[in-house]
Amino acid sequence: MTDVPKDVRGLDHIDLELLSLLQADGRMPNNALADRVGIAPSTCLTRIRRLREIGAVRGFHADVDPAWIGRPIQAMIAVRIRSDAREAIGRFAESLAGIPAVRDVYFISGNYDFLLHVACADVDDLRAVITERLSGTRLIAGTETYLIFEHRRGA
Amino acid sequence: MTDVPKDVRGLDHIDLELLSLLQADGRMPNNALADRVGIAPSTCLTRIRRLREIGAVRGFHADVDPAWIGRPIQAMIAVRIRSDAREAIGRFAESLAGIPAVRDVYFISGNYDFLLHVACADVDDLRAVITERLSGTRLIAGTETYLIFEHRRGA
DNA sequence: AGTGAAAGGAGCACACA
DNA sequence: TGTGTGCTCCTTTCACT
């Protein structure tokens, strides 16, 4: 709920403003950004490069509607790893991120080890992901699947 | 799991390729895109404008690490609406998207009505979101909170 | 729908405060 | 760090296919 965060690890208010602007519009031209925050374009360029280098900006991506690329069925799959396979969790999760249907992997606390946000072509495709890539691997103790009716990005 | 989707609602393979490229790198210059898919820059521009207009591309965003903007604590909050308040769910969810901590709202099937992906300054902040913005509203029948240890984007 | 050329604008490196 | 200049490359429009 806090609007102005506390711990900003060496970023000044201009950096935070740049991050906020780029989060809202990742294609805003460097010129416009510089204007908005009140610095010269070349300075702005340097700052943004630095924000990328330190990892404050992890990348720039188009937000593509899954329905338009033939993946209208979205689901959140909670996955529990078998307790005798915990060491493999890292490599396994990495392989999951490579499945085309997988859009996000959330490692969580609680009864399950992670949540998978997937977008599939149809229900058969969803079942294939669950049975072939998850339950079928012998690393998985259990899964629980929730259909996603709608997905909205926050502010 | 399907690599080549079936239902592509009037998009040809060039459109799909453009979407894929822009999903991977939202700042790829129009020129480079045109080269990669084998069309002229001007044609490429027209196509991308169309992809935005029809909603295949919903926007372009910088992927900002929440930890760098003072929000190192991430959580997934499952929220159940009171059954006598179901009509209010739409407006309520919209107000949620306006909370600075909220990054995603997933409307789901199952025991809960939606999942909230939040990024908070600290645990107090997280508690404030849950007690003041959720449990405190009288629309909420219950919540369940899972800490997010790590969040990876898929391919 | 796709193309090429031409003008205008933006990105980027560099030298300097 | 921040800035201003200048070169280069990209973007964007338009007449034409």
- Of all residues in chain B, the percent with pLDDT exceeding 70 is 95
Q: Which residue has the higher pLDDT, B91 or A155?
A: B91
- Give the nucleotide with minimal C1' distance to the Cα of B31: D10
Q: Sort A152 into a burial class: Cβ within 10 Å, 0-12 / 13-18 / 19+.
A: middle
- Of all residues in chain A, the percent with pLDDT exceeding 70 is 95
What pLDDT, in 10s, does the model give residues A82-139? Answer: 999 989 988 998 899 999 999 999 999 999 999 999 999 999 999 999 999 999 999 9
What is the maximum span of chain A, computed from C-alpha positions, in angstroms? 57
Band (A140; pLDDT cuts 50, 70, 90): very high
- The yes-or-no verdict on residue B5 having pLDDT over 70 is no
What pLDDT, in 10s, does the model give residues B90-106? Answer: 899 889 999 999 999 99
Q: Which of A4-13, A72-81, A140-149, B2-11 has the lowest mean pLDDT?
A: B2-11
Closest CA to the C1' of D12: that residue is B42
Quote the distance between the C-alpha of residue B49 and its chain's center.
21
Q: Which member of B56, B62, B117 has the closest CB to residue A65?
A: B56
Q: Which residues contact B44 (CB under 8 A, 6 or more apart)?
A: B18, B30, B33, B34, B37
For residue B67, the chain A residues in CB contact (below 8 A) are 9
What pLDDT, in 10s, does the model give residues B25-76? Answer: 999 999 999 999 999 999 999 999 999 999 999 999 999 999 999 999 999 9
What is the maximum span of chain B, computed from C-alpha positions, in angstroms? 57
First to last CA, chain A: 12
Q: Considering only CA atoms, which of B79, B147, B72, B83 is closest in space to residue B108?
A: B79
Q: Which member of A6, A64, A133 has the closest CB to residue B19?
A: A64
- The yes-or-no verdict on residue B144 having pLDDT over 90 is yes
- Protein-to-nucleotide distance from the CA of B42 to the C1' of D12, whole angstroms: 8
Question: What pLDDT is stored for residue B89 in this prediction?
Answer: 87
Question: What pLDDT is stored for residue B75 in this prediction?
Answer: 98
- Protein-to-nucleotide distance from the CA of B30 to the C1' of C8, whole angstroms: 17
Enumerate residues near strand D (beta carbon within 7 A): A 14, 39-43, 46-47; B 29-32, 41-42, 45
Q: Judge: A64–B72 Cβ closer than 8 Å, yes or no.
A: no
Question: What pLDDT is stored for residue A93 in this prediction?
Answer: 87
Nearest CA to CA, how far is B88 from chain A (Å)? 16
Distance CA B128, CA B126 (A): 5
Q: Which residues contact B19 (CB under 8 A, 6 or more apart)?
A: A62, A64, A68, A69, B11, B51, B56, B57
Asked if B45 reaches chain A (Cβ–Cβ under 8 Å), the answer is no
- Protein-to-nucleotide distance from the CA of B128 to the C1' of D2, whole angstroms: 40
Q: What is the pTM of this model?
A: 0.93
